[in-house]
Structure 1
Amino acid sequence: MLIYFTELLKKAFKVGFFHLISANILLQIAGFGGQIFLTRVLPIEDIGRIRLMQSYIGIFSVIATLGINTAILKICSERITDESKKNYLVSGLKFNIISSIFVILSAITLIHFKVLSSDNITNKLLYLYLIQIPFTVVFGLIMAFIQSQKKIQLMSKIQSISKILVLLLSTSLAFVMGINGYVVGTVITNIVLVILLIQLSRKKYDLKINTKLASEGVKKIIKLGSLSFGTSLLWTLILSFNIVIAGFMSIDNKEIAYYGIANLIITTLMMIPMSLNQIMVPYISEKTNNHDEIARILTLYQKRMYILMLPLIIASYYLVPIFLPIVFGNKYSNSIDYFKILLLGLLFWCVYSPKNNILTSIGRMDINLYTYTFSFIIYIISNSLLIKWFGMNGAAYGFTLTFFFTIFINGFFYRRVMK
């Protein structure tokens, strides 16, 4: 067992697994505005507002992406010419810039009529916060292309540097200007970083803006993108839409903040199996038509997932309640109960996510779409009822129940495909 674990660590270092984990964790922390630091300088109500805004931006960004990032990852992982890969990337960027503009205009309309929130402060901040959507989408698309080329360490370095800069500027301005400074810092840093990334990508990959993709290529992007779009949107909603439901039900912003901290820790822990998933996609994609090899990979894949996550989940159950008040402050001790419930949901997700990722890698986004459609129905029903009855505890229960039932839904569809 020790020999196997040692070999696994060596391989993980070789493919850039630990680089990717560190980058993903930094991305998660920066994505929530350096929450560890903000909890020391902002009122709990403002932390609740930030969490709600982050939920909306996450949803709008997925809508603006239209699943093109997953399509690029899948297509550019295949054995096609470098010129074709660049053409796909440029075409994807054009699609996403146009779609981002439509999403921003739609979101402004919703904010104007106070559909997203009845809180005036949140609505005013959202107008500015929306500006980052096209830049976030473009960043994600370029990262998907780099990942498809198995340049994991390069991707990790770019993510790490960019997210550290976002973290530093947003939290520094938050000290000076409060929640307004956090929003301004996040938007400005994202804009500057993406402009620089586009310039670097044009030089490195010799990208030409006037590139045209054949109609067959456009159809392929749209087909794969539309399927992965639905799946990505549903996944994003499952991660955070219960916070939106709580907002509609006028749950206290303090309770939303406590839940948000617990959810932040869970999604940060989720970065570890997600890093494994990201690394596996290009390798599985190469074996798309070899079902025997796919079955072998799944067995190995699941074993690695359990070796990674079971010790981590057990340790987190005992250690997070000790360190959470130290890191975030004693006033966030209420987050511990939410965390323990959500931790069980993380375990359920780890059980089925390898199968889910294999289906993505072999181009069966339609199956993942069916899976998450059923899961989201369970999610909406359970969260709507449980939040009404139990407040934010109900949100944690709804999250965990959804992943429990998804194990069986995913298993059913996976078996049908592999037959």
Structure 2
Amino acid sequence: MKVFRINSKSLIGNLLTVSFFDIISKFFTVITTILLIRFLSKEDYSNFILFQSIALFLAGCFSNGLNSAYVRYSSEYYSRFKEVDVKLYALNIKIFSFIFLVLFLIFLMSNSIIIQENSRILLVSFAIFYGFSFSLFNLGMRHLQSIENFKMSGVINNVNNLIILIFVILLFYLKMFSFISIAFLYVFINIVLAIYLNYINCKNKSFSSIVKKTSFKIYLSESYWLIMYSFFLAIIGQIDIFLISHYLSDNELAEYGVGLRYYSLLLTLLPSILSVLRVRTSKVDMIDNISNQRVFTINWIKKSTPIVIIIIALGMIIAKFILPILNGPLYEDSIPVFQILCIGVGISYIFAPNVSVLMSLRKYKLMSLIGFLAVVISILGNLLFIKYFGILGAACVTVIANAIINVTSTILVLFYTKK
């Protein structure tokens, strides 16, 4: 019997590939982030944070679950038969288009009741379109990853971030640097790249022309719980922003948004690592042999923990020296927010990859229950902590909620794979 090793050449090769492209991509993202932080007004930057939060929340609620189910199903199917169901891929595109069209129509009919300010109406409109384009873009990227074409997905992601950076610089040069112009830029570029990405994927000769009914039923049954899980993750990921925007000032939202932005940059490699592991743990040798899943989980924790602790500790120490240089004289209160969130970064790198293993065990219902528990803690915690501790309280709750998901998932993997 073939023994699974965490240092297998294919796994390490894929991790190195995505890490290489991610480092380049985040170089562009860092420059873009610094430009937005330094040259947008605090009001415009708080609007930008809210715009992204609404878009990511909608994508998390209505598309991330289907995308996760698709890549898990497609990776296993591709590893067995070396082809992907094109009709299933196209079906997801139709579902996303229908959902976001309905959302936009509902918003148009009810915006005068829900929102009083015209600026907020425009913000939410942009967010809906960005959520739609982001969903389509992610679907295309997930397909490339499911067939282990990590180089192509890396190139397209870099092109996306490079084009955004170029146009942000151009807008600054033309003195058109505002929330409206930046939001339009993000929506337009994502839509164009999403159309191109899905076009080249649908032209791929590796697609099968028939969706097998049995496989399709499995896909739908798995999608239900993964949609619920993604819905809970979306709430956890954005509830802090929504509550801060409601209870605190635009200034505090901007301060929190800056700390959160650098927190996201520290998590640079995690989405790509999860993409590789989501594909790897969906392959036949992992699905059909739970001992391999246990070995992977233990080895990952052992190998990642010392490195992560050292890097995160250094990040927390140097933050108070580096961030004032990057941010300029503004956003001093974002530094302690970032330092708290650094703890969450460490926990995520050590434990989050094991969520992919739990997914390979097909414990989708259990994942949803964990997500629900984390949502309850996140909502109650933010309501209480924001009231008494402001944005620092929100940062603490974010760390706790994500730790519940990641650590609990790891414990369950070890439980279900024990001999």
TM-score between the two structures when normalised by the length of structure 2? 0.87
| Alignment correspondent of 2:3 | none
**1:253 corresponds to 2:243:** no
| Alignment correspondent of 1:279 | 276
Deviates more, 1:223-232 or 1:100-109: 100-109
**1:53 corresponds to 2:62:** no
Deviates more, 1:8-17 or 1:227-236: 8-17
Instruction: Give the CA deviation at 1:297.
Output: 1.2
Answer yes or no: is the 8 Å Cα contact 1:66–1:225 preserved in 2: no
| Alignment correspondent of 1:4 | none
| Alignment correspondent of 1:39 | 37
Instruction: Give the CA deviation at 1:137.
Output: 1.2
| Alignment correspondent of 1:103 | 103
**Helix, strand or coil for the counterpart of 1:332?**
coil
| Alignment correspondent of 2:182 | 182
**Helix, strand or coil for the counterpart of 1:315?**
helix
Answer yes or no: is the 8 Å Cα contact 2:97–2:132 preserved in 1: yes
**1:349 corresponds to 2:360:** no
Residues 1:271 and 1:367: Cα distance change in structure 2 (over 3 Å): farther
The one-letter amino acid of 2:73's match is I
- Quote the Cα distance in structure 2 between the aligned partners of 1:275 and 1:180: 30
| Alignment correspondent of 2:413 | 414
Structure 1 unaligned segments of length 5 or more: list them: 1-6
Aligned-residue identity in percent:
19
Residues 1:281 and 1:33: Cα distance change in structure 2 (over 3 Å): same
Instruction: Give the CA deviation at 1:354.
Output: 3.0
Instruction: Give the CA deviation at 1:274.
Output: 3.2
| Alignment correspondent of 2:300 | 301
Instruction: Give the CA deviation at 1:119.
Output: 5.1
Residues 1:247 and 1:350: Cα distance change in structure 2 (over 3 Å): same
Deviation string 1:258-289 (CA, Å, 9 cap, x unpaired) is: 11111111122123233322212222222112
The one-letter amino acid of 1:396's match is A
**Helix, strand or coil for the counterpart of 1:176?**
coil
Structure 2 unaligned segments of length 5 or more: list them: 1-5
- Quote the Cα distance in structure 1 between the aligned partners of 2:132 and 2:251: 31
Instruction: Give the CA deviation at 1:84.
Output: 4.2
| Alignment correspondent of 2:135 | 137
Instruction: Give the CA deviation at 1:75.
Output: 1.1
| Alignment correspondent of 2:223 | 225
- Quote the Cα distance in structure 1 between the aligned partners of 2:406 and 2:193: 39
Residues 1:351 and 1:192: Cα distance change in structure 2 (over 3 Å): closer
Count of aligned pairs between the two proteins: 407
**Helix, strand or coil for the counterpart of 1:67?**
helix
Residues 1:21 and 1:107: Cα distance change in structure 2 (over 3 Å): farther
Higher relative CO (Cα under 8 Å, sequence separation at least 6) belongs to 2
Deviates more, 1:296-305 or 1:404-413: 404-413
- Of the candidates 261, 264, 270, which is equivalent to residue 267 of structure 1? 264
- Quote the Cα distance in structure 2 between the aligned partners of 1:9 and 1:125: 47
Deviation string 1:177-235 (CA, Å, 9 cap, x unpaired) is: 52111122112212222222233223334769xx5634434322222222111222222
Deviation string 1:35-63 (CA, Å, 9 cap, x unpaired) is: 21112221111111110111100011122
- Quote the Cα distance in structure 1 between the aligned partners of 2:322 and 2:31: 20
| Alignment correspondent of 2:159 | 161
- Quote the Cα distance in structure 2 between the aligned partners of 1:149 and 1:301: 23
The one-letter amino acid of 1:130's match is I
Instruction: Give the CA deviation at 1:17.
Output: 2.7
Instruction: Give the CA deviation at 1:353.
Output: 1.4
TM-score between the two structures when normalised by the length of structure 1? 0.87
